[in-house]
Amino acid sequence: MKGRTRTAAFVAAVTGAVLSLALLTQARLAADARWGANYFPNVTLTTQDGDDVTFYDLIKGKIVAIDLIYTNCQYSCPLESARMARMQQLLGDRMGRDVFFISISIDPEHDTPAALKAYAKQYDAGPGWIFLTGKMTDIDVLSKKLGLWSDPAQTQDGHTPMLLIGNEATGQWTQTSALDNPAYTAKIISTWMNSWQTAKPGRSYLEAAPITNRDNGKYLFGNLCANCHTIGRGDKIGPDLSVAFDARERDWLARYTLQPDVLRIKNDPIAKALMAKFGEVRMPNLGLEQDEVRAILRYIDGEKSSPTPAPPAAAAAAAVPAAAATGTVPAVLDKAIAIQVALAHDSIDRLRDQTASLHQAALSAGPAAAAIDRATADLARQTTVAGARRAYGVLSDTLVAYLKDTHTLLPAGVRVAYCPMVRKSWLQMDGPLANPYYGSAMLGCGEFTTITD
């Protein structure tokens, strides 16, 4: 116990304001002395390679970092995975030897081993980074035990952007936030976690294998930036960097890439404006070195000057049939989208007026819109944002059915998106994703889809 207390103090001192590291409570540790075999539900899960594994066997005797992901996620998962990709690099050859990363899908229905394998490849996951899928019920039980679960009904997405780090052999477990700097997290893994083992000399963070591809801008961009940024292909989770590179001072770009969090704290006006524009997702501090930033900026400059193919957005716009392009948005869709916008802003302030307008529009649309009208009536009765979101999900299903039944092409400027967490679609105007089911908690969560039969 004494050692544990001392370590807690040490960690608190080391991390200070920089790393929000929350030691699991003493009570929690005491209750299960160690998180041994009995602590972990003995569920069988499947790896990205299609192998069945029992969870406890996977972590036994190892230092592990565990997070929950799903491959369609556009919010915190790309950030977490980018961060883990970075940690993987920093940990060098300890990965797959005594340190393992485990990313567990919370959308197992969609995340087959093949889907996870493709996701792993995107992040250049090397040996020791395991992706798991399985039965939803097993995953729920497990993520609850790991303290990573959160109730999907409580406006969260069944998923906290948290990384659980532990050393099974010593029973030390700790959580870090998804926004923590990977360099610090890697340091915690390799020094603090290690200090609990019978000290093995020469295995400190500093002696970890040198980072490969250290000055390879292309590699770093692909691994750390490409999930959120394009160069000349439009905004993704973050802004199109070719636009930024035309608009901004080189020095600012370097400082921002190195420490976006610091610029935000310092109220840098550009960082502030970007924050306002890009909603919930923040550009993470990826723990880069100066020379790595230089290499990345050089790479982006090079890419920017080489001709890029037409952005997909332009191609898609050209493919919109002329009739649809000139047509107006049918009133039912228009009114429903007004409600989507309000819910995306966590508001039901005008719900009564909005549902009244939608009711009128549904009446004028005739019998085909009867289901829309019924769902609207239920929505009108809601008095909480959570209740409105549930009712809106039902309404949304009727809207999609209406489009299908009436063979209405999606009008120009209207898009259908899908939220894998609530498994519901929504309609919105073209632009960044604005998830009405989670609003500001996870505005960008989901993906644009098409209406299929």
Which residues contribute to the site for ligand HEC (CB under 6 A)?
78-79, 82, 224-225, 227-229, 237-239, 241, 244, 248, 253, 256-257, 260, 274-275, 278, 281-284, 286, 296
Q: Which residue, 158 or 260, has its beta carbon nearer to ligand HEC?
A: 260
Q: Which residue, 39 or 252, has its beta carbon nearer to ligand HEC?
A: 252
CB 132 within 8 A of CB 104: yes
Residue carrying structure tokens 């099974």: 168
Joined together, the tokens standing for residue 13 give 């001192």
CB 430 within 8 A of CB 414: yes
Q: How far is the CB of 77 from ligand HEC (least distance, A)?
A: 9
Q: How far is the CB of 307 from ligand HEC (least distance, A)?
A: 21
Q: Which residue, 73 or 348, has its beta carbon nearer to ligand HEC?
A: 73
**For residue 124, which of 92, 93, 88 has the smallest C-alpha distance?**
88
Cα 280–Cα 282–Cα 288 angle in degrees, nearest 5? 165
CB 237 within 8 A of CB 74: yes
Q: How far is the CB of 14 from ligand HEC (least distance, A)?
A: 25
- Report the first-to-last Cα separation within the chain, whole angstroms: 60
- What are the φ/ψ torsions at residue 236 (nearest 5 degrees)? -120, -125
Q: Which residue, 280 or 334, has its beta carbon nearer to ligand HEC?
A: 280
Q: Which residue, 193 or 225, has its beta carbon nearer to ligand HEC?
A: 225
Q: Report the distance separating Cα 157 and Cα 423, nearest Å.
A: 11
Q: How many CA atoms are closer than 13 Å to the CA of 211, on its beta-carbon side?
A: 21
Q: How far is the CB of 251 from ligand HEC (least distance, A)?
A: 12
Q: How far is the CB of 106 from ligand HEC (least distance, A)?
A: 18
Q: Which residue, 102 or 286, has its beta carbon nearer to ligand HEC?
A: 286
Q: How far is the CB of 194 from ligand HEC (least distance, A)?
A: 28
CB 66 within 8 A of CB 148: yes
Joined together, the tokens standing for residue 312 give 């997909």
Q: Report the distance separating Cα 11 and Cα 188, nearest Å.
A: 9
Q: Which residue, 43 or 281, has its beta carbon nearer to ligand HEC?
A: 281
Joined together, the tokens standing for residue 51 give 């192998």
Query: Which sign does the torsion angle of CA 193, 195, 196, 200 carry?
Result: positive
CB 161 within 8 A of CB 76: yes
Q: Which residue, 79 or 395, has its beta carbon nearer to ligand HEC?
A: 79
Q: How far is the CB of 220 from ligand HEC (least distance, A)?
A: 6
Q: Report the distance separating Cα 370 and Cα 390, nearest Å.
A: 19
Q: Which residue, 130 or 295, has its beta carbon nearer to ligand HEC?
A: 295
